[in-house]
Structure 1
Amino acid sequence: MSAHDHGHDDHDHAGHASERRLIWAAALTGGFMLAEVAGGLISGSLALLADAGHMFVDFAGLGLALFAMRLARRPADASRSYGYDRFQILVAYSNGLILFGIALFIVIEAWRRLSEPVVILGGPMLVVAIGGLLVNIAAFFVLHGGDKEDLNMRGALLHVMGDLLGSVAAIAASVVILTTGWTPIDPLLSVLVALLILGNAYGLVRDSGHILLEGTPKGVDSTAVGPHLSAEIEGVVDIHHVHVWSITPKRRAATLHARIAQDFEAAAVTRAIKRELSKRFSIDHVTVEIERGHCADAADDHAHHGHGHPHTA
């Protein structure tokens, strides 16, 4: 069995393990969501209803993440030569946008509650909030052992973290209401949770958006690729037209032009370049255009000057 086959098997094993974690987290989240809706309506607590609404969106988000994970295992075809892996990034980006929406809804509803206070039953609120905290802790630990580089799993984990924070806020609010009767604590703590959710949502949208925009992978300096290869690979005169991007955080790709000396075999230099990119930059999908004289795209360089194409020499 080849190293590629081993890598593919490891990827499949990790994918199946992450899928099982998502199924458990979705079951826990969806099951308790109904209890929170009932508890929020009975007690009149915005913190509980906000958390229940968040859990509903989380349940949908976990289901979408699960669908994306299964779809990503489909093989590449003529229409999608890179396969379906990128769909997971699209789901992660969407989950981040949904988190923004949840946070905005909580802030708007909190403002309404502060303007028009309502009666809140602290006892039922506390019971449901404690149950929600236990469920969210369980879901958090189920997902926390998953793949840290998988943005799809990261999005699911951030959803559950938001639920966990919501449950903590609901417990704190119910204790204050039971001991002091001060009901504004409920919407105020809800706003605090919303702000924490916004911070996590921003990070998820930023990272997934960077991949969707074909940004350079984290930890890779595209301007350093050319000089490094020129110094390390015998026969390379210069490297230019370097483009490096991610299909997913674990799948990196690159294209480049390599001008080589006349007395060096093109296939041998290409193999050496691919080995070095894999070893030094963890880039395993590489397309190399070998040149022995002037660059074939030299006539286009002047026409496209200033259009943002990265070059290294």
Structure 2
Amino acid sequence: ARQGVQQRQLEPRPFKKPPSPSLSQGSRGSRESFPGLPLETSPVAPSLELERRLARHCHCSPPTPSQSRAELQACQKLGIACAICFVFMIGEVVGGYLAHSLAIMTDAAHLLADVGSMSVSLFSLWVSARPPTKTMTFGWHRSEMLGALASVLSIWVVTGVLVYLASARIISNDYEIDARAMLVTSACAVGVNIIMAYILHQSVTGRGHTRGYEKMEESPGCSVVRAAFVHVVGDLLQSLGVLTAATVIYVEPQYKIADPVSTFLFSVFVLGSTVSILRDVFRVLMEGAPQGVEFSAVKDVLLAVKDVKDAHNLHLWTLTLSHHMVSVHVAVGAGADMEDVLQEATSQLQSTFGFVSCTVQVERYLEDMAACRQCQDPRD
């Protein structure tokens, strides 16, 4: 009997698999049932809690689809306008040759500059989409601004040549013009330039003001498209001037001087129309603050963050017209949570001012910071 009891004790008992804990059972009883598991007592599902924590990461927000669509639309607009411009440039060369008109020939040269500048703009948009490298850590975004600068410089060179030729023709007064051919060609030029201006036109989006920040909806590629649009507007005005001169010469042939005079007058306007583009390019290449973003407003937002006592070494600059950057040192008190301050400051900079890249250095506040020259704000 005793041997039978020992055999029964040695017999293996059937293994019962313990119930697996479900993460969806995030109730108060879960921690009591499974004390070894790091379960939260919050009614929020752990998956949602994880998503909320990941959402605080500075790089978790991918570029919005509207940006890629805007860049694609810019390329399409430039491509269509460039093709139309090239085809009609050939037509104007033929028409100017038949009419013996310097104004039409110079307008064709102006279109040649437009074709070149649009080609450079298309290339810059393509290059700016390339990813960053270890050498070009910011990527190739600023090639867009270089394309706009090349566009402006090309129109300055062509306009200078036009002014020189117009002045030489006024002085010599030795030329003949076929007014009929000039009239037909200039009328076609006006129509083609209107079509190109319509293609390149970008409607102005709504603008608002939020605590010192002027929200400007500048899409990638906007600067080069705007530069091309200014080119076309200049061509349109010049074509209108040529059409007016052709009408005058057709009615009164003795007033053939209207041909070089129209070229001279409207070239001045074309030069003036490029000033705003050159100003934007200068601001970006010189690391200027974003247009519409006030230095004092950015600092006030940072000082309003909990536990922040000082903000210094604040730098604002633009990678392009649509990529705003900021870096700053934030000084906090002794009992502050640096991680919370970092997250809150970054969130405020991105949501309030639309900065694409925010570099925030959190450090302990020291009394010596008030007397430090490097911690002082820059001049107005």
With normalisation by structure 1, the TM-score equals 0.91
1:160-309 matches, cutoff 5 A: 160-181=232-253, 182-230=255-303, 232-294=304-366
Q: In 1, distance between residues paired with 2:360 and 2:285?
A: 23
Cα deviation for residue 48 of structure 1 reads 0.7
Alignment-derived partner of residue 194 in structure 2? 137
Alignment-derived partner of residue 142 in structure 2? 86
Q: In 1, distance between residues paired with 2:68 and 2:356?
A: 17
1:246 is paired with a residue of what secondary structure?
Answer: strand
Identify the range of structure 1 (273-282 vs 239-248) with the bigger mean alpha-carbon deviation: 273-282
1:256 is paired with a residue of what secondary structure?
Answer: strand
Cα deviation for residue 37 of structure 1 reads 1.1
* Contact kept? 2:301, 2:348, Cα under 8 Å: no
Q: In 2, distance between residues paired with 1:193 and 1:71?
A: 34
* Contact kept? 1:227, 1:239, Cα under 8 Å: no
Q: In 1, distance between residues paired with 2:131 and 2:203?
A: 23
Larger radius of gyration: 2
Cα deviation for residue 105 of structure 1 reads 1.5
Runs of 4+ in 1 over 6 A off after TM superposition: 295-299
Alignment-derived partner of residue 155 in structure 2? 99
1:76 is paired with a residue of what secondary structure?
Answer: coil
Q: In 1, distance between residues paired with 2:134 and 2:348?
A: 29
Residue type of the alignment partner of 1:22: L
Alignment-derived partner of residue 125 in structure 2? 69
Q: In 2, distance between residues paired with 1:114 and 1:284?
A: 54
Could you report, residue by residue, the CA deviation over 1:77-130 in whole angstroms, capped at 9, with x for unpaired residues?
111111111100111112112222222222111111100121111110111111
Q: In 2, distance between residues paired with 1:294 and 1:102?
A: 59
Could you report, residue by residue, the CA deviation over 1:259-312 in whole angstroms, capped at 9, with x for unpaired residues?
01121111211111111112222213110111103499999x65x79xxx9549
Identify the structure with the greater helix proportion. Answer: 1
Question: Compared with structure 1, are the counterparts of its residues 295 and 213 closer, same or farther at alpha carbon in structure 2 (3 Å cutoff)?
Answer: farther
* Contact kept? 2:144, 2:224, Cα under 8 Å: yes
2:362 is paired with a residue of what secondary structure?
Answer: strand
Q: In 2, distance between residues paired with 1:4 and 1:15?
A: 19
Alignment-derived partner of residue 42 in structure 2? none
**How many equivalent residue pairs?**
305
Which of 144, 152, 171 aligns to 1:115? It is: 171
Question: Compared with structure 1, are the counterparts of its residues 252 and 279 closer, same or farther at alpha carbon in structure 2 (3 Å cutoff)?
Answer: same
Could you report, residue by residue, the CA deviation over 1:225-274 in whole angstroms, capped at 9, with x for unpaired residues?
223321x2111101111110111111100111110112111121111111
* Contact kept? 2:104, 2:182, Cα under 8 Å: yes
Residue type of the alignment partner of 2:172: E
* Contact kept? 2:284, 2:319, Cα under 8 Å: yes
Q: In 1, distance between residues paired with 2:366 and 2:140?
A: 37
Cα deviation for residue 62 of structure 1 reads 0.6
With normalisation by structure 2, the TM-score equals 0.75
Q: In 1, distance between residues paired with 2:359 and 2:64?
A: 20
* Contact kept? 1:223, 1:311, Cα under 8 Å: no
Identify the range of structure 1 (245-254 vs 159-168) with the bigger mean alpha-carbon deviation: 159-168
Question: Compared with structure 1, are the counterparts of its residues 146 and 56 closer, same or farther at alpha carbon in structure 2 (3 Å cutoff)?
Answer: farther
Residue type of the alignment partner of 1:211: V
Unmatched runs of 5 consecutive residues or more in structure 1: none
* Contact kept? 2:103, 2:263, Cα under 8 Å: yes
Question: Compared with structure 1, are the counterparts of its residues 190 and 280 closer, same or farther at alpha carbon in structure 2 (3 Å cutoff)?
Answer: same
Alignment-derived partner of residue 154 in structure 1? 226
* Contact kept? 1:17, 1:146, Cα under 8 Å: no
* Contact kept? 2:120, 2:150, Cα under 8 Å: no
Q: In 2, distance between residues paired with 1:267 and 1:86?
A: 33
Q: In 1, distance between residues paired with 2:271 and 2:367?
A: 47
2:61 is paired with a residue of what secondary structure?
Answer: helix
* Contact kept? 1:97, 1:205, Cα under 8 Å: no
Alignment-derived partner of residue 64 in structure 2? 8
Residue type of the alignment partner of 1:279: S
Bigger relative contact order, structure 1 or 2, given CA contacts below 8 A and separation 6+? 1
1:7-26 matches, cutoff 5 A: 7-26=63-82
